[in-house]
């Protein structure tokens, strides 16, 4: 029995030892296993976190860029709508260097007033970083209420549930994205510095003669010498315009010359465009350097500076009207002198074919001002709504007395009319085209007038019987 | 019969047979219930969003049904509702077993699934009503962030406590990852959500984007990935009954993740005006993520050698291994699309959306579903309601996912190539429509699978336990005196 007891106690002792050893071993294992993993894992985590988060936070500051601005209360309200409606899930707000035609590459300084950021991650819709001013305000309103009414391929939800005030706020935010203000003259690109100080050398002369000119009575009462100077410059500019510009911009500057249909980007409507130019220097820059992406050439390569200024000066008449320092009588007299010296009669027979050619030339070139029915009421004539060509173009219906002889027609068409927008067509049309178009224009006169004056001058029965 | 006798004997001895993992399993069960409930709900949200891409006037009459509100609801619901709940359930199951001890502070731990899911649900309701912080992945309002932080704190306390006081000598690799996650993620969450600035939860300017994407990518890298890897390291060897191939490879992947993954956030901003050196750090760490991914892939792949046939016979393993394969795919895809040149081409389209779904749906949600299918019968001691429905879930989920994923990826490439040719965004949209429709069809099939999954699991919970069988045959029993 005692042996048994001794054996038992020995066994207990051994078991206790084993338990101790086991516990020691466990402790050791715990320390060796968990600590280095946790410490190492945290160390590398903090190292990287301090690099990618703490370092930018402490050392990276952006100064506000030219397009950054503090939000007005209305814009701030619009921005909070933008974020709470989740617009940024589909619209990113940064232009990348590779992006095309959406504005300048975004810089950190553009975003200094944004909290939270709305850079976005997707372009289900277009990028909005610099959307401001790219579309009219009414467009945005229609777009929010029914996106597909203005952008047919859009998959944007309708935001018709927004109140008018909310839509106004949203538009305020969107229109100022990119920091553009919406003043019309600021829609223009930046003019290079070497053009910023360019000024029109003929401007002072123009101002002087303009002061002595009454546009409604078409009377010039100023110094005749100055008037002649002006007429020279104006007519030089007009001739150059006829030679260089008319083919695309049209004789009335409305951008609908005969070549307009052949170019992808429509030629400028000079009346609209020049009216919105920030100044002469801008006009001169466009004229000199051309317009990238259009057929507008760099005229500085073929014309000298004075010549370019003369063209620019002439083109001003598409906005302000021509200053008629030389009265219409001068042109009539010159025409009569020409008629008497040449005794000119129609060099064409007056066939139907000639008539139709004349008609097509008239519609292509002349109808812009004189109107398709020859009443001086073309779309650009001052007598039409929205028209600007002043003094008003001739009305051929009432002009029986205006053209007593054929030579006056030929003179006025070939040489133009001084200090008006009637161009010297000899620089744009052939003689034959001019004769054909005169034949067509004569058909606007009253039958008595035509039969008395013009019908006998033509050999062909078509012309003789045209108005009978 | 034998078991009944055994119980009678134990009863007379006034002791009771107790499973030492009961408490942890109960908590895991709650997590799985939430995950299962959210699955159909938030995938339905996603389906509605997919429809809106080709039927834009669908559900636009009220603010809260517009795309901008449903999208964050879907994303947060899927991330923190579906996937987090599933993976956390698995974690609560795994950690006590690998530590060979009951869960530390089980009563405290029991509040976590409820606190977390109530916080997430109320946060999503707030987002839908327009109260959002408007930072992608970090939309939850500040007060919800506080709830999430408290839950994370409790979980860290419980899980780290369990691991520290474990009875098992060895510290299995899954435990490293869970311990790491519990330490890293609360910090990531706090910094990324800018929680010291409650009114907006944001900073001013591009710094906010840097913080936002530090969080945005690490919610994936130091939360889903590290939880998921812990789950794969446990369940793939466990279900396929193979021992892990290499501890050294695990060690490499662990430290590679902790170091490299932390820095990749900047690759979301590669063409944005953030400091160039930060982009370089992001690109380098993104590329070096391959170290972690390939070591993990080799480790699991070698563990499964000669055992791949089990994914044919074992349906839950099939889900989990599919998740593992998707994780490898998405990581390699991620490393390549995070390079400057590829990112320049692929950014902004539906391609990255596909990438995100490959990770969260393909890799982690499939894994969570597999784990749920495998564990719920074991935790509850009930037989799975229907093996056939589990099979239907797989085939619908898998087929749907293929169409879903390819729809988005192709839509992305089409859009990217159109933009590269200087087409405008709006003019390229009509070309994407067929792919949007394919995406919605695939997504719709996945939603059907989600409902079948939820139905199967609910019926399993509701079924009666079989009588006279030992509740959990493969679990350790200990005798605890009453």
Query: Which residues in chain B have Cβ-Cβ distances shorter than 8 Å to A123?
Result: 348-349, 415, 419, 425
Question: Any idea which of A17-31, A311-325, B158-172, B295-309 has the lowest mean pLDDT?
Answer: A17-31
pLDDT at B257: 93
Burial of A340 (0-12, 13-18, 19+ CB in 10 A): exposed
pLDDT tens for A124-168 read: 999 999 988 888 888 999 999 999 999 999 999 999 999 999 999
Type and span of the H or E element at B367: helix B366-380
pLDDT at B9: 53
pLDDT tens for A258-312 read: 998 888 888 999 998 888 888 899 999 999 999 988 899 999 999 999 999 999 9
Tell whether A293 is within 8 A of chain B (Cβ): no
| Token pair of B83 as six digits | 């996937």
Contact A106 B272 (CB under 8 A): yes
Distance, in Å, from the CA atom of B152 to the CA atom of B143, rounded to the nearest integer, reads 14
Question: Per-residue pLDDT averaged across A215-233, rounded?
Answer: 91
* pLDDT, averaged across chain B: 91
Tell whether A266 is within 8 A of chain B (Cβ): no
Contact B210 A52 (CB under 8 A): yes
Regarding predicted confidence, which is higher, A135 or A246?
Answer: A246
Chains A, B: CB contacts within 8 A come to 228
For B272, the closest of A98, A119, A161 (CB atoms) is: A119
Instruction: Yes or no: say if A235 and A419 are a contact pair by the CB < 8 Å rule.
Output: yes
Q: How far is residue A87 from each of residues A93, A119, B61, B66, B348, measured CA to CA in Å?
A: 11, 11, 16, 10, 14
Backbone phi, then psi, for A253, in 5-degree steps?
75, 15
The count of other CB atoms within 10 Å of the CB of residue A154 is 19
Reported as a pLDDT band with limits 50, 70 and 90, residue B473 is very low
Reported as a pLDDT band with limits 50, 70 and 90, residue B200 is confident
Query: Which residues in chain B have Cβ-Cβ distances shorter than 8 Å to A41?
Result: 176, 179-180, 183-184, 254-255, 258
Alpha-carbon torsion, ordered A119, A124, A125, A126, to 10 deg: 60
Tell whether A13 is within 8 A of chain B (Cβ): no
Q: Is the pLDDT of residue A2 over 50?
A: no
Distance, in Å, from the CA atom of B457 to the CA atom of A320, rounded to the nearest integer, reads 83
B409-431 b/e with 16+ CB inside 10 Å = b? bbbbbbbbebbeeeeebbebbee
A:113-172 residues touching chain B, CB 8 A cutoff: 113-119, 121-127, 147-148, 151, 153-161
pLDDT at A37: 87
Q: Is the pLDDT of residue A22 over 70?
A: no
Report the Cα A448 to chain-centroid distance in Å.
49
Q: Is the pLDDT of residue A252 over 70?
A: yes
Please report the DSSP string for B230-247 in residue order: HHHHHHHHHHHT---S-H
Q: How far is residue B111 from each of residues A78, A242, B29, B80, B105, measured CA to CA in Å?
A: 41, 88, 13, 16, 11
Regarding predicted confidence, which is higher, B480 or A383?
Answer: A383
pLDDT at B95: 95
A:34-93 residues touching chain B, CB 8 A cutoff: 34, 37-38, 40-42, 44-45, 47-49, 51-53, 56-57, 60, 62, 83-90, 92
Report the Cα B302 to chain-centroid distance in Å.
24
- Give the residue among A91, A48, A93, A45 at the shortest CA–CA distance from A68: A93
Reported as a pLDDT band with limits 50, 70 and 90, residue B379 is very high
User: CA nearest A63 in B: which residue?
Assistant: B205
pLDDT at A32: 47
What is the DSSP pairing of strand B478-481 with strand A213-214?
unpaired
What is the DSSP pairing of strand B478-481 with strand A219-220?
unpaired
| Token pair of B459 as six digits | 């019926």
Q: Which residue of A22, A32, A67, A117 to mutate against B (max B Cβ within 10 Å)? A: A117
pLDDT at A182: 62
Distance, in Å, from the CA atom of A322 to the CA atom of A316, rounded to the nearest integer, reads 8
pLDDT tens for B319-337 read: 999 999 999 999 999 999 9
What is the DSSP pairing of strand B15-18 with strand A219-220?
unpaired
Query: Which residues in chain A have Cβ-Cβ distances shorter than 8 Å to B284?
Result: none
pTM assigned to the model? 0.71
The count of other CB atoms within 10 Å of the CB of residue B253 is 25
Regarding predicted confidence, which is higher, A410 or B15?
Answer: A410
- Give the residue among A108, A409, A184 at the shortest CA–CA distance from B203: A108
- Give the residue among A346, A322, A340 at the shortest CA–CA distance from A420: A322
- The CA-CA-CA angle for residues B9, B12, B14, to 5°, reads 115
- Give the residue among A38, A21, A20 at the shortest CA–CA distance from B163: A38
Contact A111 B273 (CB under 8 A): yes
Contact B210 A56 (CB under 8 A): yes
Q: Is the pLDDT of residue B1 over 50?
A: no
- Give the residue among A115, A101, A103 at the shortest CA–CA distance from A67: A103
What is the DSSP pairing of strand B15-18 with strand B478-481?
antiparallel
pLDDT tens for B429-459 read: 999 999 999 999 999 999 999 999 999 999 9
Q: What percent of chain A has pLDDT over 90?
A: 62
Q: Is the pLDDT of residue B470 over 80?
A: no
Q: Is the pLDDT of residue B404 over 70?
A: yes
Query: Which residues in chain B have Cβ-Cβ distances shorter than 8 Å to A29?
Result: 169-171
Q: Is the pLDDT of residue A446 over 90?
A: no
Distance, in Å, from the CA atom of B435 to the CA atom of B424, rounded to the nearest integer, reads 18
Please report the DSSP string for A258-315 in residue order: TTGGGSSSPPP-HHHHHHH-S-HHHHHHHHHH--TTSS---GGGTS-HHHHHHHHHHH
Distance, in Å, from the CA atom of A449 to the CA atom of A338, rounded to the nearest integer, reads 22
* pLDDT, averaged across chain A: 88
pLDDT at A399: 61
For A42, the closest of B183, B205, B263 (CB atoms) is: B183
pLDDT at A186: 58
ipTM of the complex: 0.90
Q: Is the pLDDT of residue B407 over 70?
A: yes
The count of other CB atoms within 10 Å of the CB of residue A461 is 12
């Amino acid at each position: 029995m005692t042996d048994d007891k001794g054996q038992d106690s020995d066994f207990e002792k051994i078991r206790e030892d084993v338990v101790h050893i086991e516990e020691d071993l466990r402790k050791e294992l715990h320390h060796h296993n968990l600590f280095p993993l946790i410490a190492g894992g945290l160390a590398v985590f903090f190292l990287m976190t301090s690099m990618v988060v703490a370092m930018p936070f402490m050392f990276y500051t952006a100064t506000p860029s030219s397009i950054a601005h503090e939000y007005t209360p209305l814009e701030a309200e619009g921005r909070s709508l933008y974020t709470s409606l989740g617009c940024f899930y589909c619209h990113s707000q940064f232009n990348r260097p590779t992006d095309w035609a959406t504005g300048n590459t975004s810089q950190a300084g553009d975003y200094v007033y944004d909290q939270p950021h709305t850079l976005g991650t997707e372009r289900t819709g277009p990028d909005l970083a610099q959307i401001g001013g790219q579309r009219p305000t009414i467009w945005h309103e229609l777009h929010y209420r029914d996106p597909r009414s203005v952008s047919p391929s859009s998959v944007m939800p309708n935001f018709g549930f927004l109140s008018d005030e909310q839509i106004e706020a949203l538009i305020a935010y969107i229109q100022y994205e990119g920091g553009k203000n919406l003043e019309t003259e600021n829609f223009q690109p930046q003019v290079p510095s070497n053009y910023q100080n360019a000024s029109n050398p003929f401007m002072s002369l123009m101002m002087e003669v303009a002061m002595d000119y009454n546009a409604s009575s078409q009377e010039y009462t100023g110094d005749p010498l100055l008037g002649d100077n002006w007429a020279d410059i104006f007519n030089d500019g007009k001739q150059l315009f006829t030679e260089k510009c008319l083919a695309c911009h049209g004789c009335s500057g409305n951008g609908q010359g005969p070549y307009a249909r052949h170019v992808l980007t429509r030629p400028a409507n000079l009346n609209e465009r020049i009216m919105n130019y920030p100044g002469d220097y801008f006009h001169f820059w466009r004229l000199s350097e051309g317009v990238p992406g259009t057929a507008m050439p760099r005229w500085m390569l073929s014309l000298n500076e004075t010549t370019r200024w003369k063209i620019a000066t002439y083109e001003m008449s598409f906005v302000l009207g021509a200053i008629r320092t030389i009265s219409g009588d001068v042109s009539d007299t010159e025409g009569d002198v020409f008629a008497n010296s040449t005794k000119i009669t129609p060099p064409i027979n007056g066939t139907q074919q000639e008539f139709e050619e004349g008609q097509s030339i008239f519609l292509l070139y002349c109808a812009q001002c004189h109107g398709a029915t020859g009443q001086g009421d073309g779309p650009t004539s001052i007598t039409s709504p929205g028209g600007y060509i002043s003094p008003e173009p001739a009305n051929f219906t009432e002009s029986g007395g205006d053209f007593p002889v054929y030579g006056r027609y030929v003179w006025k068409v070939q040489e133009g009319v001084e200090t008006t927008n009637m161009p010297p067509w000899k620089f744009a049309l052939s003689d034959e085209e001019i004769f054909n178009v005169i034949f067509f224009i004569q058909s606007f006169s009253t039958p008595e007038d035509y039969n008395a004056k013009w019908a006998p001058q033509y050999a062909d029965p078509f012309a003789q019987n045209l108005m009978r | 019969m034998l078991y009944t006798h055994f119980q009678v004997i134990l009863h007379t001895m006034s002791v009771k047979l107790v499973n030492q993992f009961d408490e942890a399993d109960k908590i895991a069960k709650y997590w799985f219930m939430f995950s299962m409930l959210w699955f159909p709900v938030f995938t339905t949200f996603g389906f509605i969003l997919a429809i809106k891409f080709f039927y834009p006037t669908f559900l636009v009459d009220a603010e809260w049904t517009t795309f901008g509100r449903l999208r964050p609801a879907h994303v947060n619901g899927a991330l923190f509702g579906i996937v987090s709940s599933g993976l956390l359930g698995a974690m609560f199951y795994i950690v006590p077993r690998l530590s060979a001890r009951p869960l530390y502070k089980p009563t405290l731990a029991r509040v976590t699934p409820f606190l977390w899911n109530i916080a997430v649900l109320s946060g999503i309701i707030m987002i839908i009503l327009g109260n959002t912080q408007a930072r992608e992945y970090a939309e939850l309002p500040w007060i919800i962030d506080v709830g999430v932080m408290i839950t994370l704190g409790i979980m860290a306390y419980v899980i780290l406590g369990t691991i520290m006081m474990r009875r098992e000598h060895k510290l299995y690799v899954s435990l490293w990852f869970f311990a790491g996650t519990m330490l890293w993620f609360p910090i990531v969450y706090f910094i990324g959500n800018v929680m010291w600035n409650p009114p907006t939860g944001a900073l001013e300017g591009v710094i906010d984007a840097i913080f936002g994407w530090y969080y945005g990518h690490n919610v994936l890298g130091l939360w889903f990935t590290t939880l998921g890897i812990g789950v794969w390291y446990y369940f793939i060897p466990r279900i396929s009954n193979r021992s892990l191939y290499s501890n050294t490879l695990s060690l490499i992947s662990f430290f590679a993740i902790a170091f490299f993954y932390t820095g990749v956030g900047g690759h979301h901003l590669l063409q944005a005006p953030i400091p160039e050196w930060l982009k370089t750090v992001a690109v380098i760490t993104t590329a070096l993520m391959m170290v972690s991914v390939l070591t993990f892939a080799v480790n699991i792949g070698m563990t499964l050698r000669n055992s791949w046939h089990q994914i044919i016979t074992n349906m839950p393993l099939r889900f989990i291994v599919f998740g593992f394969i998707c994780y490898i795919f998405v990581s390699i895809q991620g490393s390549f699309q995070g390079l400057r040149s590829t990112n320049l081409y692929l950014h902004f389209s539906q391609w990255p959306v596909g990438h995100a779904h490959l990770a969260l749906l393909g890799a982690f949600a499939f894994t969570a579903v597999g784990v749920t299918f495998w564990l719920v019968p074991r935790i509850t001691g009930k037989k799975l309601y229907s093996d056939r429905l589990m099979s239907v879930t797989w085939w619908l989920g898998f087929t749907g996912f293929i169409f879903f994923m390819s729809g988005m990826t192709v839509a992305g490439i089409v859009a990217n190539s159109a933009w590269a040719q200087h087409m405008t965004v709006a003019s390229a949209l009509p070309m994407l429509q067929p792919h949007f429709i394919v995406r919605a069809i695939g997504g719709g099939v996945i939603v059907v699978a989600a409902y079948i999954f939820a139905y199967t699991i609910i019926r399993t919970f509701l079924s009666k336990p079989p009588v006279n069988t030992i509740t959990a045959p493969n679990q350790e029993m200990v005798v605890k005196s009453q």
